[in-house]
Amino acid sequence: MNNLERQEEGCARDHNANINDEGMAASSAATDGVAAVALRSVIQRVHQAAERSGRGPDRIRIRRELVEKAPQLPEDIEWHFIGNLQSNKVKALLTGVPNLAMVETVDDKKIADRLDRVVASMERKPLKVFIQVNTSGEESKSGVEPSGCVELAQHVSQSCPNLEFSGLMTIGMLDYTSTPENFKVIA
């Protein structure tokens, strides 16, 4: 359940606490209608933004959200996946989003190998990938250690013919004063 659904459920529960079952059903239907209108509004705004930008890449971090929304949007959008991707979710992502152009968070050989095998089985063009590097050293962030970055990039380039190594991705610390140091680590 996402935050919007939790909020809507909480609001509906609070609103309906003192009315009968029939009133609750009517209010629940109204809440469902509000959610549907909100979703349609979001989809419409995404369409408009895509049109204004010449249909540039769209980024949605959550795999499930991307798989759900991509079929509702124009087929010529090039999607970029950003976020932790488990190897057991790769096939669902690639089959659910056939116009996925890039995965920006490859952080180990296992996920690279799985992406390579699934792309090959789908007989699609090579998938672009970024290697995610944990330059800040924070345990809360994913990414290969800087010392393993070159080895992983070589693995993708030499052992994964269905992946196209496109660069590095990193997220520095929230303290912006450390940003230069985070990027120097991978220079």
**Which tens digit of pLDDT belongs to each residue from 62-100?**
556 777 777 777 778 888 888 888 889 899 889 888 888
pLDDT at residue number 119: 96
CA distances from 160 to 85, 113, 117, 126 (A): 17, 7, 8, 9
Going by their DSSP bridges, the two strands 127-133 and 79-81 should be labelled as unpaired
Whether pLDDT at 22 is above 70: no
CB-CB contact of 115 with 129 (8 Å)? yes
Alpha-carbon distance 177 to 159, whole Å? 38
**Amino acid (one-letter) located at 40:** R
Band (27; pLDDT cuts 50, 70, 90): very low
Going by their DSSP bridges, the two strands 100-106 and 127-133 should be labelled as parallel
pLDDT at residue number 76: 81
DSSP state of 147: G
Whether pLDDT at 112 is above 90: yes
Is the CATH code 3.30.465.10 the one for domain 55-184? no
Alpha-carbon distance 42 to 31, whole Å? 17
As a whole number, mean pLDDT of residues 141-164 equals: 94
Query: 119-152: per-residue pLDDT in tens?
Result: 999 989 999 999 999 888 888 888 999 899 999 9
Span(s) in the chain for CATH 3.20.20.10: 55-184
The number of residues making up the chain comes to 187
What's the pTM? 0.63
Alpha-carbon distance 183 to 12, whole Å? 47
DSSP state of 125: P
Q: Position of tokens 């970055």?
A: 149
